[in-house]
Amino acid sequence: MPWSKIKPDTDELNYCHNGNCGGRQISYAQAVNEGLRQSLTLDERVFVMGQGVDDPSGMFGTTRGLQEEFGKKRVFDTPLAETALTGVANGAAIGGMRPVYFHNRPDFLLLAMDQLVNHASKWHFMFGGAVNVPLVLWACIGRGWGSAAQHSQALQGIFFHVPGLKLLMPSTCYDAKGLLLAAIKDDNPVLILDHRYNFKQKGMVPEDMYTVPIGKGIVRRPGRDVTIVAISHLVADAFMTAEKLAGQGVDVEVIDPRTLRPLDEALILNSVMKTGRLVIADTGWKTGGVTAEIAALVSSKAFRFLKAPIERVACPDLPTPAGYTLEDAYYIGQSDIKHAVMKTIDFER
């Protein structure tokens, strides 16, 4: 199934001003695969499970070759039984192992909500810090031709809501590896949501092991007029929009939170205090979602610095259509972000 045939392979944008430019150029899938391989090599407690982790495609290429290298006891396929198997992963984590549970789609995580929300995310608090669940769950948002309503949902708003669950959404190959390694080292449950569009890019990634700190965002492009907080692959759309608007005299700052929970509030607030205008772009639904929470944060803590109403760019509150033309109209991109930026610029009190 050509899940993402509508987007060609490409090199990552030039974010070198922030210093993450070392290493070799490899694909997004290779970056994740390298992080898994290094974790499996370094720590015998780490194992990888999930439907299709051993098939020829290797979960979009992220787990390719790992079973041949580390054996079926440490990298193994699982049936469609998400509730039961998340319970198995929880038990293994409580018992001292470090499971990494891969899912093709975040849609399937809804079947594991009991184990994930009622148990894994609460264990640390319920037992006063005496018991931890060092579990990593990974899922890929599958936007592309025909993915439709049950295989392409961006459910970060739902998981963003759960205390005790760390939520990561990388946008670059460098962060994909570094955040994965940080998640595996973390002593409590971490959910990584990747976007299928990220897998169409190649970027600079160091060969050595390194971690990207959970809870620390990054400025992808400095600017003075408008702040865009963009999530996952929309960071690239925001960056390209900013570059085009620079030619029109609008200087846009682009922030990539990298992790939604914990959220780097200081980075966002300091940027808004400088620019006075804010656009938030997320791949998920608008109502009750990520854009709403960040807008509430800024309204509460930096309202007096705002020169214009906060603009939110998110998908319509509708299930994703399957047809190509409807899907193309449903999703947001550069034109939507540009329109939102110009609304903040043109606003007059």
**CA-CA distance, 88 to 4, in Å (whole number)?**
32
**13, 313, 302, 342: CA torsion to nearest 10:** 80
Give the H/E segment covering residue 284. Answer: strand 278-285
Strands (E), 24-156: 24-27, 46-50, 75-76, 98-103, 136-141
Report CA-CA distances (Å) from 237 to 33, 169, 315, 334. 25, 15, 15, 5
CB 319 within 8 A of CB 147: no
Question: What is the distance of C-alpha 131 from the center of its chain?
Answer: 27
Element (H, E) at 150: helix 148-151
Q: What is the Cα–Cα distance from 14 to 67, expressed in whole angstroms? A: 34
Active site residues: 151
Q: Is the dihedral of CA 211, 213, 217, 222 positive or negative?
A: negative
- Structure token pair of residue 97: 């192992």
Among 200, 208, 196, which residue's Cα sits nearest to residue 24? 208
Alpha-helical (H) ranges within 192-331 are: 234-246, 265-275, 290-301, 324-330
